[in-house]
């Protein structure tokens, strides 16, 4: 049986080690923090509660119906819920009403709907634009070139806070190869900040198998599922 306390400690340790290494190489500013997003999709609420009791507050979900059930049943109201999955237009209202973050905004239309449907009494919705950084034909996300056009429209939408970029690069096993798309994502965010006079501060990149490479290239959020919770149930 895997022990959740050990898993959480272990991942936090990996994050700390990777950060220290990146300070030493001066790739990353010494005051930088990395947020661990616990990806709880396809895991029951009970497992979320165990990590919560160990101090974890940010959880990521990919399926709207499943997430809403957990959010509604969860006794803790200070959890920060992040939506990280593919978004169908008919699900944007539920997402806008129940999440604080959306990492997977991959079309202008989705941004427009989230903006229109974000309840007035809630803070602006934090969004990341998903980038198809390895430019794979089947993958969702803006291409690194078309994101410039999209952002021109997205910056004018109310009730959204454009926090940064998210990517799921093509898997690679070697550290130096893993770094390349993460570096490109970081550079892209800086270009977009310059061109649009934005202050995006979030790079949502790195998963169980490549979090060290992502942190070496400036990740500010790593999204970890399997390495925290074990294999998913379905
Ligand atoms: C499932 C998922 C993760 C977590 O993946 P693991 O391999 O289980 O760590 C991270 N990001 C996204 C977008 C996901 O859908």
Q: Which two tokens stand for residue 52?
A: 């919560």
Q: Which atom of ligand 1 is nearest to the CA of 208?
A: 9
Closest CA to 232 of 10, 11, 8, 41: 41
115, 158 contact by CB (below 8 A): yes
Q: Label residue 5 by pLDDT band (50, 70, 90).
A: low
Q: Label residue 26 by pLDDT band (50, 70, 90).
A: low
The three-state secondary structure class of 224 is strand
How many A from CA of 133 to the centre of ligand 1? Answer: 16
CA atoms within 13 A on the CB side of 13: 8
34-70 residue pLDDT tens: 999 999 999 999 999 999 999 999 999 999 999 999 9
Site residues for ligand 1, CB cut-off 6 Å: 39, 41, 62, 84-85, 168, 207-208, 223-227
For residues 61-89, average pLDDT? 98
Residue 82 Cα distances to 134, 142, 234, angstroms: 23, 19, 20
Residue 163 Cα distances to 50, 75, 108, 111, 199, angstroms: 29, 28, 16, 13, 8
How many A from CA of 24 to the centre of ligand 1? Answer: 28
- Which one of 39, 99, 182 would you pick to mutate in the ligand 1 pocket, going by the greatest count of ligand atoms within 8 A of its CB? 39
43, 66 contact by CB (below 8 A): no
180 versus 27: which is more confidently predicted? 180
Q: Whose CA is nearest to atom 5 of ligand 1?
A: 225
Q: How far apart (Å, rounded) are the C-alpha atoms in residues 205 and 207?
A: 7
Q: Which atom of ligand 1 is nearest to the CA of 227?
A: 9
114-157 residue pLDDT tens: 999 999 999 999 999 999 999 999 899 999 999 999 999 999 99
Q: Please tell me the class of the 2-13+32-228 domain.
A: alpha beta
Q: Is the confidence at residue 1, as pLDDT, over 50?
A: no
The three-state secondary structure class of 39 is strand
Place of tokens 């340790």: 13
């Amino acid at each position: 049986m895997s022990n959740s306390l050990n898993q959480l400690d272990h991942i936090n340790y990996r994050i700390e080690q990777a950060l220290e290494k990146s300070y030493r190489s001066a790739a990353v500013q010494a005051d930088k923090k990395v947020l661990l997003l616990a990806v709880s999709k396809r895991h029951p609420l009970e497992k979320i509660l165990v990590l919560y009791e160990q101090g974890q507050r940010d959880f990521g979900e990919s399926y709207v119906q499943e997430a809403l059930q957990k959010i509604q049943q969860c006794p803790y109201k200070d959890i920060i819920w992040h939506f990280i999955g593919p978004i169908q237009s008919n699900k944007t209202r539920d997402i806008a009403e129940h999440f604080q973050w959306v990492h997977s905004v991959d079309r202008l239309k989705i941004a427009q709907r989230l903006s229109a449907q974000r309840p007035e009494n809630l803070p602006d919705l934090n969004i990341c634009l998903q980038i198809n950084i390895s430019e794979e034909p089947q993958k969702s996300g803006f291409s690194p070139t078309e994101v410039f056009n999209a952002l021109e429209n997205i910056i004018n939408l109310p009730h959204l806070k454009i926090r940064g970029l998210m990517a799921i690069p093509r898997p690679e096993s070697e550290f130096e190869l893993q770094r390349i798309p993460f570096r490109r994502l970081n550079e892209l965010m800086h270009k977009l900040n310059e061109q649009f006079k934005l202050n995006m501060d979030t790079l949502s990149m790195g998963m169980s198998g490549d979090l060290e490479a992502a942190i070496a290239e400036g990740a500010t959020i790593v999204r970890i599922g399997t390495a925290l919770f074990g294999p998913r149930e379905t």
